[in-house]
Structure 1
């Protein structure tokens, strides 16, 4: 039996993608909705197997709290997105905008913001106290936002060709979510190449995409670098979308090694087709000084630990630089609480390839590095110089390494300094986090605070929440702040998720409760959300995650008590 060569395999994948584009052009809106509904049902059916394999990939002990991360960031994120995208398609079928029923308001800089969370009664109950707005680009009017929503689904027959989607290896919902966005929003057929780390999930991905695979509009494959490069370069592949590292992006666009560096310097890309990307970055956690109770200090310290240690730090939006005020009289108490939170979070392996080398480099670069405990890898880099070119400001460690820097000031004075520092010193623009007591928010005023947010150039901004909540919000946009170019790519170009299919999304702003229920009521948040299931200290995260998947598969009042019962024990 003859074995296919790499060029032959690349030809076959590209030919199938070309046939898939033609087939997709014949699929009506209603049929596309039905395919997505079937996809959602298959995700629910495959959820347990999906989590079992992800648990093995990441070296987790089955049925322990860290497995909850796999339920929430894997099948739940995928299922929740599919269900919401179905609603957007249904509105287009009815001749209305996906934005019908969503409020729009003006925000600073000539922008309009559309409120995407909470929207349903389930949002109000399951994510009580959380909200999200998509801020659109300056000059986009409310009428334009509504009339252009739909992207490629506004003309489903006008398919835009073929696309290779390069799946990420860290979060298992990224590959299917990116594929769905390219398929529906960009209106292209999809050749989904898996990251080698997630190759063992191929049977699950093939199972959930079966309706699309049978139609010929999606194919899922594993490959080595040679085949991947051949498919990307194939003339019948019209576009590329990737989630990964800046180094991988540059190797694709400019070429590998010295040749790629020379091409980049000369401005002569090797890749001459459109490429969109989400590439991570160095995410700040800005802590606005205020008068916090001891329980506030402990809770928000655990919040910081979650931003850093979720998925063992192997997240493109993991918090990496903690920005605190040197003028805050509770600074040392808070940093002590952060050290405790990092050390007491449940142990889990630093599973992502290359983590040990990156941690070693971080410790060598910062002589003051502290090994905080919990696992051997957890590292704090205290007292980073805000005026120096610290490696932690430009290197995405993709592991359990947290830097700390201090700036002077209080209130809005400190916050403006922190915004400038984050914009000017930290590499990338994917996500930024702000922790601020409601008392300080009231003191600044809502309009003034929005003006501060306007100046923070990040694709997702989370206030008293982690930007990972933006990833989990199906109607929010997800991607870098607009403006990057191929020769200065940083966090990438374009967005995904964006369940309302907005044409000019600029950023998403997430807001959450400063305190969990029931203490949230003391600050006027009126939130019912206990310790969220994505918190690394949550004791019932695995049970809550599994019940969230079951609920999203078929929402109903009878399922809510089981979800709440588990969540409240967390």
Structure 2
């Protein structure tokens, strides 16, 4: 399908007018479909990677880990948000503390029971300049976001975020490496395709999608060079993730040899995961 044909299939106003309860029902259908197609996603992703290197190294379980799990976790978080919206309220943080002049620390993790079980002693904070406020995603204007899928992962969580957090309909274009998994994602997102909230176009449609008239913005994950090319061709905002040099910062503390060894194993493991093509893989150690 061409990018223009995909664009023509969407009805962003209809999606924006879809009630919270209807969205929650659609979300649950997608979650159910994801569970049904989980093994197939893992098999297809593993085959693609094994074919690239000419060796049977990546297992179905690893394929599932890099396709199913990112989307499953994202959809679970969105489900929690929409459960709150059904009750007419936004999720509440654990705490909000002013820690400086107009600087606030907001604890947002762990909130839910499963998070608390998995978190152990971990806590998650946001540091925000200015008094923190929340925006209901349903209050955001209708529109269409074009998502250009990544090459290192075939799980496009940007689709779900654009749909449920930005209140936008979505065109999704896969990376050429992930065309086979994208065919499965079409089956998983079928309820939203029927709702005219999602449409998929061919991997060859990158330039055409970037220059579509009427889109709100473009989400892109990939190289800096391609991001600049999209930016030069497009007339709408580009939200891009182009990698970077992520630090591992070791702060002073009473660390034991066991603590250091555990973290070293973590760093080495994430460096090998997915061939090292992991968005937040630490590459520099700062002490």
Aligned to 1:113: 105
Distance in 1 between residues matched to 2:135 and 2:78, nearest whole Å: 12
Q: Residues 192 and 218 of structure 1 are in contact (CA less than 8 Å); yes or no, is this contact kept in structure 2?
A: yes
Aligned to 1:153: 138
Distance in 2 between residues matched to 1:281 and 1:179, nearest whole Å: 22
- Residue 57 of structure 2: which of 51, 57, 61 is its match? 61
CA shift in 2, pair 1:75/1:298, >3 Å: same
Q: Residues 285 and 321 of structure 1 are in contact (CA less than 8 Å); yes or no, is this contact kept in structure 2?
A: yes
Distance in 2 between residues matched to 1:70 and 1:323, nearest whole Å: 32
Instruction: Tell me, yes or no, if structure 1 residue 223 matches structure 2 residue 216.
Output: no
Instruction: Tell me, yes or no, if structure 1 residue 186 matches structure 2 residue 184.
Output: no
Distance in 1 between residues matched to 2:255 and 2:195, nearest whole Å: 57
Aligned to 1:103: 95
What value does the CA root-mean-square deviation take over the aligned residues? 2.4
CA shift, 1:88, in A, is: 1.2
The one-character-per-residue Cα deviations of 1:20-66 (angstroms, maximum 9, x if unpaired) are: 21331331121111111111111111111111112122225365xxx
CA shift in 2, pair 1:73/1:114, >3 Å: farther
Q: Residues 55 and 70 of structure 1 are in contact (CA less than 8 Å); yes or no, is this contact kept in structure 2?
A: yes
What TM-score does the superposition give when structure 2 sets the normalisation length? 0.88
Residue correspondences, number = 282
Aligned to 1:139: 130
CA shift in 2, pair 1:68/1:107, >3 Å: farther
CA shift in 2, pair 1:134/1:74, >3 Å: farther
What TM-score does the superposition give when structure 1 sets the normalisation length? 0.46
Distance in 2 between residues matched to 1:16 and 1:88, nearest whole Å: 28
Q: Residues 15 and 236 of structure 1 are in contact (CA less than 8 Å); yes or no, is this contact kept in structure 2?
A: no
Instruction: Tell me, yes or no, if structure 1 residue 127 matches structure 2 residue 119.
Output: yes
**Higher helix proportion (structure 1 or 2):** 2
CA shift in 2, pair 1:229/1:288, >3 Å: same
Q: Classify the secondary structure of the residue corresponding to 1:165.
A: strand
Aligned to 2:272: 309
Aligned to 2:75: 82
The one-character-per-residue Cα deviations of 1:292-351 (angstroms, maximum 9, x if unpaired) are: 554344323212212422222112221112335xxxxxxxxxxxxxxxxxxxxxxxxxxx
Q: Classify the secondary structure of the residue corresponding to 1:311.
A: helix
Distance in 2 between residues matched to 1:98 and 1:284, nearest whole Å: 31
Distance in 2 between residues matched to 1:234 and 1:30, nearest whole Å: 32
Distance in 2 between residues matched to 1:84 and 1:297, nearest whole Å: 31
Distance in 2 between residues matched to 1:194 and 1:11, nearest whole Å: 15
Q: Residues 69 and 310 of structure 1 are in contact (CA less than 8 Å); yes or no, is this contact kept in structure 2?
A: no
CA shift in 2, pair 1:185/1:300, >3 Å: closer
The one-character-per-residue Cα deviations of 1:486-514 (angstroms, maximum 9, x if unpaired) are: xxxxxxxxxxxxxxxxxxxxxxxxxxxxx
- Residue 248 of structure 1: which of 226, 241, 261 is its match? 226
Aligned to 2:39: 48
Distance in 1 between residues matched to 2:264 and 2:58, nearest whole Å: 27
Instruction: Tell me, yes or no, if structure 1 residue 275 matches structure 2 residue 238.
Output: yes
Q: Residues 13 and 231 of structure 1 are in contact (CA less than 8 Å); yes or no, is this contact kept in structure 2?
A: no
Structure 1 unaligned spans of 5+: 255-269, 325-570
Pick which of 215-224 and 53-62 moved more. Answer: 53-62
Q: Classify the secondary structure of the residue corresponding to 2:167.
A: coil
Q: Classify the secondary structure of the residue corresponding to 1:242.
A: strand
- Residue 170 of structure 1: which of 152, 175, 182 is its match? 152
Distance in 1 between residues matched to 2:19 and 2:256, nearest whole Å: 57
CA shift in 2, pair 1:280/1:109, >3 Å: farther
Structure 2 unaligned spans of 5+: 51-55
Distance in 2 between residues matched to 1:216 and 1:198, nearest whole Å: 23
The one-character-per-residue Cα deviations of 1:61-100 (angstroms, maximum 9, x if unpaired) are: 365xxx655434421221222122122122223221222x
Instruction: Tell me, yes or no, if structure 1 residue 28 matches structure 2 residue 14.
Output: no
